Each structure stands twice: as C-alpha cells, then as structure tokens.
Amino acid sequence: IPTHYEKDVSSILIPHGVIMDRVNKLARLIVDESNGPLVVCCILKGGHQYFADLVNVIKKLTKKSGNSVPLSLEFIRVKSYHNDQSTGDVKVSLTEDECKEFKGKNLLIVEDIIDTGATMVKLLEKLRQYEPASIKVTSLLIKKTDRSNGYIPDYVGFAIPDAFVVGYALDYNEYFRDLDHICVISEHGKERYANA
Ligand code: PRP
Ligand code: MN
Ligand code: MG
C-alpha cells in the first residue's frame, strides 16, 4: 500500500498477484470460447486496468495457441457513481458513428465490477440496438449484494462481499485508481475523499 493511502483502506481483499493469476485464466477461457475477430470494449474509467492486462495476456496467448484471435479495441465512457452510491443515472458516452461500427461484430465488454448491475443492463440495452453479432461480458468482480438487479456476466473473476472496494482502477470519487491491490476502503478514507 502506498503511504498516501495507508490510513484510507482497512484491508487488502485481493492482492495484485492473485488478480493477475485470475486474469491469465480468464484470458485463456475467453480465447478458447471465441470464434473469429473480437471487438474488445473497455468500460472507462474503472475497466481500464483489467482491460489492459487482459488484452496483454490475450496477445501473448494467441501467439502460440491454436485459437488465434484478432482484436480491435474500443473505449466507452460510462458513469453513475457519486461517493459510494449509484445515482441510478447511467451516462453512456458513445456517438452514433461509434455505435454503427458494432453492427455484425462480436463484442467483448470488459468491466471492473458489477455492483447493482444498473450500468451493465443500461449499456447492453443500448448496444443491442446496433445489432452486433454477439455480445459477451467479462467483469473482474461481481458484488454479492441485495441491491443487485440479478445481472450476471459471462466471465467473472471474483465474487466479493458487500463492501466498497477500491484499487486496480476502481475509485472512490476518482481516488484509489493508483493502487495495485483491490482493497476495502476505510471510514477514514471515505471521509477524507468525500464529495459534497
Ligand atoms: C462503477 C464501476 C462500474 C459500475 C458498477 O463505475 O466501474 O462501471 O460503477 O456499478 P453498478 O453495477 O451498480 O452500476 P462508475 O460509475 O463509478 O464510473 P468509473 O468507472 O469512471 O469509476
Ligand atoms: Mn465504471
Ligand atoms: Mg467509479
């Protein structure tokens, strides 16, 4: 833990090395089950670290594996959180031109966490209108919470307890993305970085 966050997290939930082991396994699974080119869609900002590491592993895998998959990369900005709460207002930044590119393609959506599921359900609703050939979703984390809308992605890294987690690009009001491990935020951290 960098000293600037020492008091702001209460525990390490998933150490960086464990994350990377899991990303390796997920990459293998995704490559094995894919047929043809993939449009890998990074859900910014939280998804960027998992996306970067996943794409890196897939690149290495397809150099030597039987199932070699050409990738193209897309970036979609989606936001709904304020402090530790979903506002329920999911903003998706995609232009009409960008959406039209999805027609007939095999999409792989890469997300950091499914919490209530509101973000993913809203995003999938929008993407389906542009008639991709298929949509698969991978999320590094899924939270076990009674606020869930029931959505479950195709490829999940870890199921986690109902605590607010940060690190590995997951943020609290934009802080903690610069933390390698996935950690539980402390009360100190919540107060320190709270927004009005
Ligand atoms: C977070 C997270 C997921 C979403 C999950 O994004 O990265 O995208 O919320 O929550 P949900 O399942 O309850 O909808 P956020 O809105 O914080 O934007 P960010 O990725 O830029 O941090
Ligand atoms: Mn996000
Ligand atoms: Mg966020």
Mark out the alpha helices in 111-173 (DSSP H runs): 118-128
Owning domain of residue 84: 18-160
Distances in Å between the Cα of 178 and the Cα atoms of 64, 169, 189 are 32, 7, 14
Q: In this model, does residue 67 exceed pLDDT 80?
A: no
- Overall average pLDDT of the 45-50 stretch: 98
Residue 91 is assigned to a structural domain of this protein:
yes
Ligand 1 closest atom vs CA 80: 16
Residue 28 is assigned to a structural domain of this protein:
yes
Q: In this model, does residue 63 exceed pLDDT 90?
A: no
Number of domains in the chain: 1
Q: Are 157 and 19 in contact (CB under 8 A)?
A: yes
- Overall average pLDDT of the 63-91 stretch: 88
Give the ipTM of the model, two decimals please: 0.98
pLDDT given for residue 88 in this prediction = 87
pLDDT given for residue 116 in this prediction = 96
pLDDT given for residue 65 in this prediction = 63
Residue 172 is assigned to a structural domain of this protein:
no
Ligand 1 closest atom vs CA 177: 22
pLDDT given for residue 61 in this prediction = 87
- Overall average pLDDT of the 112-137 stretch: 96
Residue 7 is assigned to a structural domain of this protein:
no
Q: What angle do CA 158, 186, 114 make, to 5 degrees?
A: 30
Q: Which residues surround ligand 2, an ion (CB under 5 A)?
A: 46
Residue 167 is assigned to a structural domain of this protein:
no
26 CA distance to ligand 3 centroid (A)?
Answer: 23
Starting at the edge strand found earlier in the chain, the sheet holding 165-166 runs: 9-14, 182-185, 165-166
Q: What CATH number does the domain containing 76 carry?
A: 3.40.50.2020
Residue 13 is assigned to a structural domain of this protein:
no
Active site members = 115
Residue 3 is assigned to a structural domain of this protein:
no
162 CA distance to ligand 1 centroid (A)?
Answer: 15
Residue 192 is assigned to a structural domain of this protein:
no
Q: Where does the pLDDT of residue 36 fall: very low under 50, low under 70, confident under 90, or very high at 90 and above?
A: confident
